[in-house]
Amino acid sequence: MIKMWMTQPDKKLFQRSLLILFFDLLGITFSGFFALWIRFDLSIAKIETKYVEEQRRILPILILTLVAVYFLFRLYHSIWRFASVSELTRIVGAYILLVPVILIERRLFTFDLPRSTYFIAYMFNFLCCIAIRFSYRVFRYYVNRRRSRLLPESDRVMVIGAGSAARELIADIATSEKVRYQVVCIIDDNSRNWGRYLGNIPIVGGREQIPEMVIKHDVQRIIFAIPSINRRERIDILNIAKSTGAHLQIIPGMYQLVNDEVRVSRLRDVEITDLLGRDEVEVNNDDIFAAIHNKVVLVTGGGGSIGSELCRQVAAAGPKQLIIFDIYENNAYAIQQELKRSMPDLNLVTLIGSVRNTNRVNWLLRKYRPEVVYHAAAHKHVPLMEDSPNEAIKNNCLGTYKMARAAAENGVKRFLLISTDKAVNPTNVMGASKRICELVVQMMDRKYPDTTFCAVRFGNVLGSNGSVIPLFKKQIAEGGPVTVTDKNIIRYFMTIPEAVSLVLQASFYANGGEIFVLDMGEPVRIDDMARKMIELSGFTPDVDIEVKYTGLRPGEKLYEELLIDKSTMKRTANQKIFIEDPYPMDDELFLDQLRRLENASKSELERNKIIPIIREVVPTFIPDRDRL
């Protein structure tokens, strides 16, 4: 009869449940006599014999009643190693039900005991029920700690996936001298594989069984080994695995497995990018290859987050020469050394300089004659540009103008600007400056027909310098709090490789004057992202690490706009990439406004004097009124 409440008969779980039942019986048996002892002033001699006999008479009734209610509330179903609030709630519910049940039985079976003993026994049993179950969790905690000290190099591992990648991984684990992993079970959603073995390792169930099997097999580490699964399925499985508290790792994606085998050394921890519920943009690598291969390519801001990834992907496409141009020498040196190590045959030139320096820019383009320019150099930090608007104008607007003009005058075939969704109906100086950059590019495309000018506009990139990901990681490492400006703030996100792939794809599509816009799907709540990062670090939000709301910063808004209207925007061969038509404008008036901005920024005008000039150029710019 007892086996009926076991969802999957298991000897260990069965024995543990019997042990808990045994202690429950002891507690129920002892509680009545303990209540009499308390009732009669802690003196056994004072307890009347008739009460002892009465307690013996009603004991079987009480045992059957309490155990039946325990079964009803599934108090023998839980994994008590992880007993928590939900289990405590069920215990409280059971004891609420016991009150009327015992009162009915007292009348029905004419219990003849002092009234106070019922209350004492009731409370004693309630505390015993809690203690028996939660003490098991405490006991298992200390047992596991002792075990980990005795075997510090041995991790019990669950592998998710039973395909070829999982097989290679398990084989490598078995022979690796670098790690001491013991694969104890495998999870696979194909029910036909359940109960079978991969080697000598059992396939124990699908994703729904992950929490149960982590406990059953004492798993400390989970490795996700399905490189070909779609993103939403992967997120669902990873979220289930994350909830167990086990250390979570993942193998590389399919593109990394084409030229290399699965290796333990390639495992990485699951990151927040793995948990975002948006499908990545797919690009045509043949198009990218055609746009770059055997051409001289210049990347401005080549040491930055976007710029350095541009350099990596351009280098992989086999350019005739790659030129990295950046004002920050440390960043430029870092990507230079990385590319030299990974691609020793690459024709690489690394130069230091500013896009604001007209002479330097013209010298660079005359000397190296690039055919393709990816202009990523820019000031991108919103709050800093609010306090230094003149620098945003000098570096972003005038720097783009100087670079674009030099490109056209020196025979560059394609010039592509890296823009941002903050340029749409901007509320901050940085966004407004990038909108002006877009206007520069569109004006240049009309003025210089021999050069194809375009821009790519996308949202926030995960992991870039100045993004929330490095900030959250630092705050978590310091013990918190993790700061979010507003609970409801949302942003569109993409990974850096994805953003760069879009840029390279757009350089193939460009005919001149376009602003390419990515359909980024559903936006992401920053609050949700912060909490997921805390959980990925092994902590509980607002318990171990506080999430603190600091209020919107100057120039910041709750949401970013991409203004993708699929009914009016032009489509490309890529269903995720759209084209915004050129903005109608008076080029001569725009040039005059640009000169006024240049003079104003060089004069170091106060913020309240330069903002009106920016608004003349970008009428949709609505700045923070408190800072006008």
Domain extents in the chain: 2-148, 155-270, 293-464+489-525+548-627
Residue of higher predicted confidence among 397 and 226: 397
Topology agreement, domain 155-270 and domain 293-464+489-525+548-627: yes
- 423-426 long-range contacts (CB < 8 A, ≥24 apart) are 423/457, 424/457, 424/560, 424/561, 424/562, 424/563, 424/620, 425/561, 425/563, 425/620, 425/622, 426/618, 426/620, 426/621, 426/622
Tokens of 205: 């169930």
* Average model confidence (pLDDT) across the chain: 83
User: Side-chain half-sphere of 572: how many Cα atoms within 13 Å?
Assistant: 25
Lowest mean pLDDT of 177-186, 210-219, 314-323, 381-390, name the range: 177-186
Beta bridge partners of 7: none
Look at residue 390 and tell me whether its pLDDT is greater than 80: yes
Residue 507's H or E segment, with its range, is helix 496-509
CA distances from 277 to 96, 356, 390 (A): 42, 40, 38
Cα angle 587, 592, 595; round to 5:
125
pLDDT digits (tens, 9 = 90+) for 391-417: 999 999 999 999 999 999 999 999 999
pLDDT digits (tens, 9 = 90+) for 93-152: 999 999 999 889 888 888 888 888 889 989 999 999 888 887 766 665 455 445 544 545
Q: How confident is the model at residue 169 (pLDDT cuts 50, 70, 90)?
A: confident
Task: Confirm or reject CATH 3.40.50.720 for domain 293-464+489-525+548-627, answering yes or no.
Answer: yes
Residue written as tokens 């608004």?
A: 615
Look at residue 234 and tell me whether its pLDDT is greater than 90: no
Measured in degrees and rounded to the nearest 5, phi and psi for residue 197 equal -125, 145
pLDDT for 252 equals 64
Look at residue 520 and tell me whether its pLDDT is greater than 50: yes
Which entry of 242, 295, 394, 422 is annotated as an active-site residue?
Answer: 422
SS3 state at 95: helix
| Cβ–Cβ < 8 Å for 452, 414 | yes
SS3 state at 178: coil
pLDDT for 262 equals 53
Lowest mean pLDDT of 154-158, 458-462, 474-478, name the range: 458-462
CB within 8 Å of 453: residues ≥ 6 apart = 404, 415, 416, 417, 441, 442, 444, 445, 512, 513
Q: How confident is the model at residue 253 (pLDDT cuts 50, 70, 90)?
A: low
Dist. CA 207–CA 214, nearest whole Å: 11
pLDDT for 392 equals 93
Look at residue 267 and tell me whether its pLDDT is greater than 90: no
pLDDT for 454 equals 92
User: Annotated catalytic, 320?
Assistant: no
pLDDT digits (tens, 9 = 90+) for 6-46: 333 345 557 777 888 888 899 898 888 888 899 888 888 88
3-state helix, strand, coil in the chain (%, to 5): 55, 15, 35
pLDDT for 430 equals 94
Tokens of 239: 């979220």
- Tell me the angle at which helices 329-342 and 305-316 cross, rounded to the nearest 10 degrees: 20
Look at residue 49 and tell me whether its pLDDT is greater than 50: yes
pLDDT for 609 equals 84
Tokens of 211: 């929490």
Q: What pTM value is reported for the model?
A: 0.61
Beta bridge partners of 269: 249
pLDDT for 555 equals 62
Residue of higher predicted confidence among 13 and 510: 510
pLDDT digits (tens, 9 = 90+) for 523-581: 788 888 888 888 777 788 888 889 999 888 766 677 765 555 666 677 777 767 788 87
CATH number of this structure's domain 155-270: 3.40.50.720
Q: How confident is the model at residue 480 (pLDDT cuts 50, 70, 90)?
A: confident
The arithmetic mean of pLDDT across residues 147-167, rounded, is: 74
Residue 578's H or E segment, with its range, is strand 577-580
Dist. CA 266–CA 104, nearest whole Å: 65
